Amino acid sequence: MAILIDETKRVLVQGITGREGQARTKLMREYGTNVIAGVTPGKGGQTILGVPVFNTPHEAVAALGEIDISVLFVPAAGVKDAAISAIEAGIKLTVLVPDRVPVWDAMEIAAAARSNNARFLGPNTLGVLSPGKGVVGMIGGRAESARQWFKPGVPAGVGIISRSGGMASSTGYYLGQAGVRISTIAHIGGDAVLGIRIPEAALMFEADPLTEAIVIFGEIGSTQEEELAQLIHDRKITKPVIAYIGGKAAREGTRFSHAGAIIEGGRGTHAGKVTALREAGATVVDAFGELPSAVVEILKRIKGKSLMSEAEKNAAWHTAITHIEPNKVAVRGYDIADLMGRASFGATVHLILTGELPSAPIGRLMDAVLVASIDHGATPPSALSARTVASTGATLSASVAAGIMSINRHHGGAIEDCARQLKAVADRAVKESITIDDAAARHLAAMKDAGERMPGFGHRYHTKDPRTARLFTLAQEAGVDGAHMKAARAVEKCFADAKKPLPINVDGAIGAILADVGINPSVFNGIFMIARTPGLVAHVVEEQTREKPMRRIDPVNHGYDGPSARSLPTS
Ligand SMILES: CC(C)(COP(=O)(O)OP(=O)(O)OC[C@H]1O[C@@H](n2cnc3c(N)ncnc32)[C@H](O)[C@@H]1OP(=O)(O)O)[C@@H](O)C(=O)NCCC(=O)NCCS
């Protein structure tokens, strides 16, 4: 549903410590881009906006594993070395934002890309943006504006290829205003020597299952539009192509704004491009202002899903969670009737919180996390609060809400706090080039000096929490064992070495597991609330039906009179 960039791509920023590098990293992350590392020679070891900085792309790949895209905010003179170092580190796409890159340097980058089976976009590119998924480069500016202007290509969108940076954004904006969804906007750059050109980008859109049509902002000079016409003629591009070609009034030998936009030897004329595209079957509009309506007409003709309904077009705000239509409910795009009976509750919680259904083992793990936290007796603050409020004659909703309101930093919150501390341990190991055991020791020492306790370790009641071992077994079965779980084992070992047996508790285990599953820690407390709610309902109803109003509730001294221990039936 997108080309080149989406939310799964791991992105490196070269020149991250510079003015533009820092500003753009912030904006890219705010839009959802997964920026995992930065590079500035001589500045390795720093952290910018929580992103670790390395001296070379090679070091970044060695420390963090495969990186999909590197985006460069390095001044022109440094672009050749920076790009080639990324390509040689095995990064398959480099996005060259800087302008004024010497043509010879671009040619050397092209040769390096060819021999390493890699691609590059630019130079002199604003980058690429897939609405709702991610951006590399500068398209869209502030995340908030980009979200408003470019409508995500769900269930389908049109692909935009532009030879002008400013017009890449404008085309996306005007298409959005006309009610057209977009899969990806790609600005290929304005220089004479380019990496990905119109024909290659068009072939990517042709292969993208949910791109329905291709919109081109072309201009005079080069043979890109003519090559596209040939691809259409040869049926290698079969999706509708709608184009505008800028520079109609330019005379031969006059550069039209960009280095690559020049007619030489009668090649690359406006008339030649328009004729070639029209003869091949593309729609070419005469004025840019006609482009949105031409796209809408074609989408209507092909019953395109990229076209928004009037209601969607006029919506004052948007949600990406659940779509309600008469007689239809779709959660994150899945028909709820299909989910019912087929997706487990844990898998559906994963879906609604992350946007995607998990694999079957991760779904089982999610179920186990929810079951593990369903109740922990009558003494935790949430159960006591819920029962106390229920004893006043309050309603079920008020009593359960009281229980939920007691879930905070010191009750349930260890899940998120522990995950964040474990990440800090893992990051320290990378940043200081030390083993994870040493990183854990240094981190715990620093916490001790600051008078802080490591959340998620030790338990005031259990010495060997029965839930933790089971969760780790299920995590192992699901193949979940990432940086957080490794850091958790290192912390546990560190406590044991110091003769302080503080094993990871259920909160810590859940935090480490959910973080390694890739779920955003900001929803961890929410997952605990979701899990604990059935337990709270049970406590409230029992309080209301079994006990006298306004009784004095002893917070500790109580007995259990439920069923004695029993086993699950063997299936
Ligand atoms: C690339 C560009 C954005 C950089 O501008 P800038 O952020 O103001 O430049 P800065 O000097 O602040 O930062 C560059 C950083 O790259 C770093 N750098 C230099 N060579 C490097 C390399 N090989 N690898 C990684 N980083 C490198 C520098 O050390 C510097 O970081 P520092 O300030 O921490 O030392 C600018 O040169 C440019 O080309 N702007 C035009 C972009 C544009 O309009 N593109 C086309 C759109 S249509």
| pLDDT reported for residue 255 | 67
> Active-site positions?
258
- For residue 515, what are the β-bridge partners? none
**Domains 150-318 and 358-547 equal at CATH topology level:** no
Q: Give yes or no for residue 250 having a pLDDT over 80.
A: no
The pLDDT tens digits of the residues spanning 161-207 come to 999 999 999 999 999 999 999 999 999 998 999 999 999 999 999 99
| pLDDT reported for residue 245 | 97
- For residue 242, what are the β-bridge partners? 215, 283
Mean pLDDT of 430-448: 93
Q: Show the tokens assigned to 442.
A: 């240094």
Cα 55 to its chain centre, rounded Å, is: 25
Q: Show the tokens assigned to 494.
A: 């560190």
Side chain identity at 453, as an amino acid letter? R
| pLDDT reported for residue 85 | 98
- Cβ-based neighbour number of residue 233 at 10 Å: 15
Mean pLDDT of 272-276: 95
Q: Mind spelling out the 3-state secondary structure of 368-390?
A: HHHHHCCCCCCCCHHHHHHHHHH
- CATH number, domain 358-547: 1.10.230.10
Mean pLDDT of 207-236: 96
Q: Give yes or no for residue 123 having a pLDDT over 90.
A: yes
- For residue 408, what are the β-bridge partners? 411, 412
Q: Give yes or no for residue 18 having a pLDDT over 70.
A: yes
∠ CA 238-240-241, rounded to 5°: 105
User: Exposed (0-12), middle (13-18) or buried (19+): which is 447, by Cβ within 10 Å?
Assistant: middle
- Give dist(CA 228, CA 223) in Å, integer: 9
Cα 461 to its chain centre, rounded Å, is: 39
CA of 430 to the centre of ligand 1 (A): 25
Yes or no: say if 218 and 226 are a contact pair by the CB < 8 Å rule.
Answer: no
Nearest to 485 by CA among 507, 515, 506: 515
Mean pLDDT of 145-158: 91
- Give dist(CA 548, CA 537) in Å, integer: 18
Pure H helices in 253-392: 270-280, 291-301, 310-313, 336-339, 345-354, 360-372, 381-390
Q: What is the DSSP string of 318-330?
A: --SSEEEETTEEE
User: Exposed (0-12), middle (13-18) or buried (19+): which is 348, by Cβ within 10 Å?
Assistant: buried
Ligand 1 atom at minimum distance from 43 CA: 34
Yes or no: say if 307 and 180 are a contact pair by the CB < 8 Å rule.
Answer: yes
The residue that leads in pLDDT, 489 or 311, is: 489
CA of 24 to the centre of ligand 1 (A): 11
Angstrom distances, CA of residue 63 to CA of 231, 401, 435, 529, 556:
42, 45, 12, 35, 49
Q: Give yes or no for residue 310 having a pLDDT over 90.
A: no
CA of 164 to the centre of ligand 1 (A): 21
Residue 325 banded pLDDT, cuts 50, 70, 90: confident
User: Exposed (0-12), middle (13-18) or buried (19+): which is 303, by Cβ within 10 Å?
Assistant: exposed
Side chain identity at 346, as an amino acid letter? G
Mean pLDDT of 219-246: 96
Mean pLDDT of 267-276: 91
Question: Where are the domains positioned within the chain?
Answer: 1-118, 150-318, 358-547
- Cβ-based neighbour number of residue 481 at 10 Å: 15
Yes or no: say if 290 and 242 are a contact pair by the CB < 8 Å rule.
Answer: no
Ligand 1 atom at minimum distance from 14 CA: 25
| pLDDT reported for residue 268 | 86
Q: Give yes or no for residue 252 having a pLDDT over 70.
A: no
Angstrom distances, CA of residue 50 to CA of 26, 53, 350, 527:
10, 9, 25, 24
Phi-psi domain of 50 (left: phi exceeds 0; alpha: psi -120 through 50; beta: other): left
| Percent of the chain whose predicted confidence (pLDDT) is above 90 | 82
- Give dist(CA 237, CA 18) in Å, integer: 41
Q: Whose CA is nearest to atom 42 of ligand 1?
A: 98
The pLDDT tens digits of the residues spanning 383-420 come to 999 999 999 999 999 999 999 999 998 898 899 999 99
| Percent of the chain whose predicted confidence (pLDDT) is above 70 | 97
- The pocket around ligand 1, CB under 6 angstroms, is made up of 14-15, 17-21, 39-41, 43, 73-76, 78, 81-82, 97-99, 124, 126, 165
The pLDDT tens digits of the residues spanning 358-381 come to 999 999 999 999 999 999 999 999
| pLDDT reported for residue 315 | 80
Query: Best mutation site among 12, 74, 84, 85 for ligand 1, i.e. most ligand atoms within 8 A of its Cβ?
Result: 74
Yes or no: say if 33 and 19 are a contact pair by the CB < 8 Å rule.
Answer: no
- Give dist(CA 541, CA 539) in Å, integer: 6
| pLDDT reported for residue 544 | 98
Query: Best mutation site among 13, 26, 40 for ligand 1, i.e. most ligand atoms within 8 A of its Cβ?
Result: 40
| pLDDT reported for residue 256 | 66
For 322, phi then psi, to 5°, come to: -130, 135
- For residue 216, what are the β-bridge partners? 161, 243
Q: Show the tokens assigned to 275.
A: 């004729």
What class does CATH assign to 150-318?
alpha beta
Q: Whose CA is nearest to atom 29 of ligand 1?
A: 40
- Give dist(CA 148, CA 143) in Å, integer: 9
Q: 3-class SS at 355?
A: coil
CA of 22 to the centre of ligand 1 (A): 10
Residue 265 banded pLDDT, cuts 50, 70, 90: low
Q: 3-class SS at 525?
A: helix
Ligand 1 atom at minimum distance from 73 CA: 1
Angstrom distances, CA of residue 551 to CA of 403, 522, 545:
18, 37, 13
Helix axes 224-233, 198-207, angle to 10 degrees: 40
Residue 349 banded pLDDT, cuts 50, 70, 90: very high
- Give dist(CA 220, CA 256) in Å, integer: 7
Residue 26 banded pLDDT, cuts 50, 70, 90: very high
Ligand 1 atom at minimum distance from 165 CA: 48
CA of 115 to the centre of ligand 1 (A): 26
Angstrom distances, CA of residue 225 to CA of 34, 121, 372, 438:
33, 17, 59, 58
- Cβ-based neighbour number of residue 419 at 10 Å: 28
Four-way CATH pick for 1-118: 3.30.300.130, 3.40.50.720, 1.10.3720.10, 3.30.360.10: 3.40.50.720
Query: Best mutation site among 73, 124, 129 for ligand 1, i.e. most ligand atoms within 8 A of its Cβ?
Result: 73
Ligand 1 atom at minimum distance from 187 CA: 48
Mean pLDDT of 320-326: 89
The pLDDT tens digits of the residues spanning 44-61 come to 999 998 899 999 999 999
Residue 249 banded pLDDT, cuts 50, 70, 90: confident
- Give dist(CA 399, CA 204) in Å, integer: 55
Residues in contact with 446: Cβ distance below 8 Å, sequence separation at least 6, in sequence order: none
